Structure 1
């Protein structure tokens, strides 16, 4: 339990600039209350005794506007919208080879792929995942690890609970500063005895006489969700602009993409996807081979969204821990690639304040529409060279 205890120590709060290296948002727009206009006085007796005109009835919604309820994080149709009125749960999951295989990713609505933070000898970081569960709750997600700074602006628009094993002191301060947008304090150590987390004994290991549990901590999203009454109504808004019909999906008119790869660690450590026409999904590959879960499930997804942004690393805090990976997405902009059913399109993204969702515009200036389903969001550096095969 030594490593777990060390992470628990990170929960102490240290007074550091909360937004350091992450950025600050622009001021939120507000709806101004219209001022009352003066009513002209009647100019004649006839005017003063005129009958009050019949109010014009409010127009019905346009037939082109799809008002059917949908799951906010997948866009799939929802028969009973009350079923979506519960909090979304994200779980921080490592993605390095020695921490595979994972569990539970196949049940996630969205899976964010980010920098890990532990840099290798070349100075580059591997990846860490953040699956988000809402329309489905995985029974067990493993392994669970610590929060990274970019999780706050990614998850604040969702009002998510974050399953985790702790964070660096300044990141904890950052989480607390944005507590009105998300819940990140229900860590492994802060929820002991609730059943929200557990230990997979088969993943406990010993190194140089020391027993480690960092690969063995599991999270149970449905149980963790019960530890708070906050955000009980569920995510406040759709995370992506969903298409109502297949012919509205932007990629349908795009270029062919039977496979693509996204680099991390410079340009050589690549996550890749291969389109499977039979299932109409993209199969995910790690740099060392197919991405396969602990139960043998081959990882695949309906959508792949690549959001490129500038990356950097925060300095090690007081000589302890590791460099924190930072993303310039708050009040930011950049380019994106969107893949669906063997085709892709490109465009630009923008994001305002920490709690505001991404906004997307296609390269030709038209609105962007995504196909309902599961989405993997890859977050490489702005200089990443995305390779696409038709």
Structure 2
């Protein structure tokens, strides 16, 4: 048993007081791209704060940290909860995924066996049921640390738990408030959370988190090249996208048709992958995505692609993007980030 706790001195902003919550850390259950250059996305169809593009001259406190979109009405960009990240299964067994359409931002990462798992970020809207909830990987440290996020997970392998605790990351596992099993599904794909309930385990006044990506406006993007279809190949999983009037659609999503993530932008980062140092119960080596250093970036927005570079000085540091030596920004909106292995993965797109 461990309690939720805040990150130590590496935090860049004050965190609110935490209410102690029991967290059951369970061992993780194992799971059983030709690249080019230069953007795609469109006006978001969702109602609410996500439908308002950030205006020129808007102050950072008037925008949402995970989308860059303007805060409207009486809402505040400083919520009374942290960013919540749900680790979600992304195999056919997860269908239908629930709650993905309410996420502000999604990161897709490689796990063992060449399949992927999702880190779904929630801040401007905390929905009800989300899942299926699966386990953490060491790769998640670099994914969630810049947002000072709390992670909702089924647990992790002992070596991963040690590293996550050492990074000061708050997490909640089965047994904590909000978690439940859907008995109509087969384990381990039947663990879900009532995210609104789990979020109450961390309460109090919350400062606005730092921007997760370098937000900007679509008109500031370089021209790039035409791109209306995209395939991100991780090995056993290839995630495919199509651009249309409402932005980018994940055409092989495991979410229900009315609960898919509405991506304005798909950001592909070519990353290095190492060995996490242990094997899953099926004997597969567990990969570890290295979300620090630098590599190629492909930004797909509004039917075009811009090719550039990404860099991240440390696991806790924010992501920086550049093209031909100049800062590259991500158009405000909802973004799906693909962490595609530079060596074993592939990225292809067509006009």
TM-score range, shorter chain: 0.7 to 0.9
In 2, the alpha carbon distance for the partners of 1:233 and 1:321 equals 42
Match of 1:163 among 120, 141, 152: 152
1:10-49 alignment, distance < 5 Å: 10=27
1:226 maps to what in 2?
200
Aligned residues: 298
* Distance in structure 2 (CA, Å) of the matches to 1:319 and 1:304: 33
What runs of 5+ residues in structure 1 fail to find an aligned partner?
A: 1-6, 12-63, 120-124, 206-212
Aligned position for 2:298: 337
**Contact residue 280 and residue 286 of structure 2 kept, 8 A:** no
Tell me: CA distance 1:293–1:318, structure 2 relative to 1, closer, same or farther (3 Å).
Answer: closer
State how far apart, in whole Å, the 1-side matches of 2:167 and 2:181 are: 29
Contact 1:168 1:321 in 2 (8 A): no
TM-score by length of 1: 0.71
Q: In the alignment, what sits opposite 1:236?
A: 209
1:368 matched to 2:328: yes
Cα distance in 2 between the residues matched to 1:284 and 1:307: 17
Give 1:316 deviation, angstroms: 2.5
Partners of 1:198 and 1:372 lie apart in 2 by: 34
Matched, 1:261 2:231: yes
* Contact in 2 for aligned 1:93/1:129 (Cα 8 Å): yes
Determine if the alignment matches structure 1 residue 107 to structure 2 residue 102: yes
Given candidates 140, 148, 152, the residue that maps to 2:129 is 140
The answer for the alignment partner of 2:37 in structure 1 is none
Assess if the C-alpha contact under 8 Å between 1:305 and 1:336 holds in 2: yes
**Shift of residue 8, structure 1, vs aligned partner:** 5.0
Q: Which residue, out of 126, 150, 153, partners 2:142?
A: 153
2:338 corresponds to 1:381: no
Q: Which entry has the higher C-alpha Rg, 1 or 2? A: 1
**Closer, same or farther: CA 336–246 of 1 in aligned 2, 3 Å:** closer
Cα distance, 1:220 vs structure 2: 1.9
Q: Deviation per CA, 1:243-264, whole angstroms, max 9, x where unpaired?
A: 1x4422x16x221111111111
Distance in 2 of aligned mates of 1:174 and 1:235? 26
Map of 1:188 onto structure 2: 174
Supply the distance in 1 between the matched residues of 2:188 and 2:163 (Cα, whole angstroms): 23
Q: More relative contact order in 1 or in 2 (CA 8 Å, sep 6+)?
A: 2
